Each structure stands twice: as C-alpha cells, then as structure tokens.
A and B are shown apart, each in its own frame.
Chain A
C-alpha cells in the first residue's frame, strides 16, 4: 500500500516537472521566434535575439515580461512599434506608405509582361507582312539545297 502511494506521488511529481518543463520550452520557443522578428535599433542589422547591445538585452527582458504577463505576440509587437516605429519589425506592415514596397515588384513584373507581349505581337505582324518576299527567297534556297 505504501509502495503504491509512493509510486503515485512519484508519478505526480514527474508529470508536474514535465508539464512545467514543457511550458517553459513553449515560452522559450515563442520568445525566440518573436525576438528573431524584431530589430535591434542600436546595431540595426541584427535581430533582438542576436544582438549583445545593452538595449537589446533590456528589450528582450521587456518582451519576456510582457509574454509572461499574458500579452499576445501582436500586442508585444505593437508595444515596440509604438515606441520605436515600424523599423523594429523586420517584416514591414502592409499599409499605404508601404504599398509600393510590397506591390512594386509585381508592378514591374506586369510592365515586363506588357513589353514582352507587345514585342511578340510586333514580331508576329512583321513576319505576317513579310512572308511574300522571304518565301521567294526560301524557295530559291530550297532549290539550292535540293540540288
């Protein structure tokens, strides 16, 4: 009986330890992914996760506290954007000032397609109008080749 109780107690402790460890891992993973999306303003080309700048350390601490206090990822990003601007985000938000940034490449692609088709069409037209002369030449060439 005592052995049975001991086993239950041990199992409970093990489960508890496992669940807190799992929760910790989940939090760490979440913080890691958040920090890799945020820019360190001191060294600009490093993420918060990579940077050793004192400010990055403070901001990591701040992000952790916000996460532990139950704030969502969007709320945490919003907290930093309110203080440091969109520049803290590695991925710029889609809004009127960034439309050109996000959709500019597709605009260029569309221009390229238009130019391409107009060139093709013009080429087809010159081929169509120029068939009479080349075919005479081609007939002569064939005659030469067939000899």
Chain B
C-alpha cells in the first residue's frame, strides 16, 4: 500500500523539485558571473594618477589598509546612478576608495569628476583597459573590496546600491579593518 502511494506520488515529487529549481532561478541574475579572483591577491598594476599623471599607484601602496577599488568611466551611464553613494561614502570617511578610470580619456575623466564631484582618495587611469581585464572587469561600474594583505574579498558587479553597501560591503569592510 505504502509502496503504491510512493510510486504514484513520484512524478509529483519530481515535478515539485524541478519547479523549486526553476523558481529559485527566477531570482538569480544571470549577468552576475562569480569572479574567480575572490580570495586571490589583487592583480599587480602600476598606473598613472588622474590628477597627477607624473605619479603612479600600485596595490602595494595600499598595503596595510582595507580599500575599495571602484571601476568607472565618464562614458558609463550607470556610474551616475552609484555616484551619490560614493560621495556619501567619501564624506563619511570610512574607507579609502581608489577610482579606476576604465578606458577613458584623462581629460574626460577629469571633467566628469569636476562636474559630478570627486569621491576618490586617488584616481588612476587605465587607458587601454588592460588592468580592467586583469581584474576580470566586464560590466562597468564594478567595485572590489580589498583587504589589508591586498587580497580581493568581494566584488560588486554593476552600480552600488544602498542595500549592497549597508548590508554587505560596509560590514565586510568593518570586519576586515578590525582583523
């Protein structure tokens, strides 16, 4: 009797399981590809600073500090969406934010920051996008959380949101700063 019930309900059970998978799939963003760089040291680079082109910045310069690397560009429309959040973050002075001007003309980047406000501790210029490729950037804006040892801990693909900042990024930054 119980065997029969089991056999009868098997198709329904399979259906429910498949439905569960499909339902969960509805809430996942296929554009967000998990980065293989999480938990790995930030790729080495030495890039000219946007405001002082004669000086460079390397990840080694940030050693001992938790920092954010924000990949942006003056041609990037959704960068405008996250920009107020970055300005607030800069005002709160919680964590240094390095801006990586990705495939942007320095003059355009400077003009954009002058008119929209500059939230960056330092801005660097990745003119040909090579460093972007090393960081696996494919959807500007992107934001990386990098710890004191220079290891990438988190990557936000697409514009920062207040939710992502308050619930994920800042708690992680605080935790990393304590350690």
Q: Could you name 20 residue pairs across A and B whose Cβ atoms are closer than 8 Å?
A: A41-B138, A41-B139, A42-B138, A42-B139, A44-B30, A44-B31, A54-B103, A55-B138, A59-B133, A62-B133, A82-B36, A83-B36, A83-B133, A84-B136, A84-B138, A85-B33, A85-B34, A85-B35, A85-B36, A87-B33
Range of interface residues on chain A?
10 to 19
The residue among B133, B134, B135, B139 with the most chain A CB atoms within 10 A of its own CB is B133
Min CB distance, A4 to chain B, in Å?
52
Min CB distance, A109 to chain B, in Å?
16
Min CB distance, A41 to chain B, in Å?
4
A84 touches B30 (CB 8 A): no
Instruction: Decide yes or no whether B37 CB sits under 8 A from chain A.
Output: yes
CA distance A41 to B35 in the complex (A): 12
Interface class of chain B by DSSP: loop
Q: Which residues of A contact B (CB under 8 A)?
A: 41-42, 44, 54-55, 58-59, 62, 81-87
- Option from B31, B129, B136 in Cβ contact (under 8 Å) with A85: B136
Instruction: Given contact pairs A62-B133, A83-B134, A84-B136, enumerate 11 new A-B contacts (beta carbons under 8 Å).
Output: A41-B33, A42-B138, A44-B30, A58-B128, A58-B129, A81-B36, A84-B33, A84-B35, A84-B36, A85-B33, A85-B35
Interface string of B121-145 (1 = CB under 8 A from A): 0000000110001111011000000
Residues in chain A near residue B34, CB distance under 8 A: 85
The residue among A42, A82, A86 with the most chain B CB atoms within 10 A of its own CB is A82
Residues in chain A near residue B35, CB distance under 8 A: 84-85
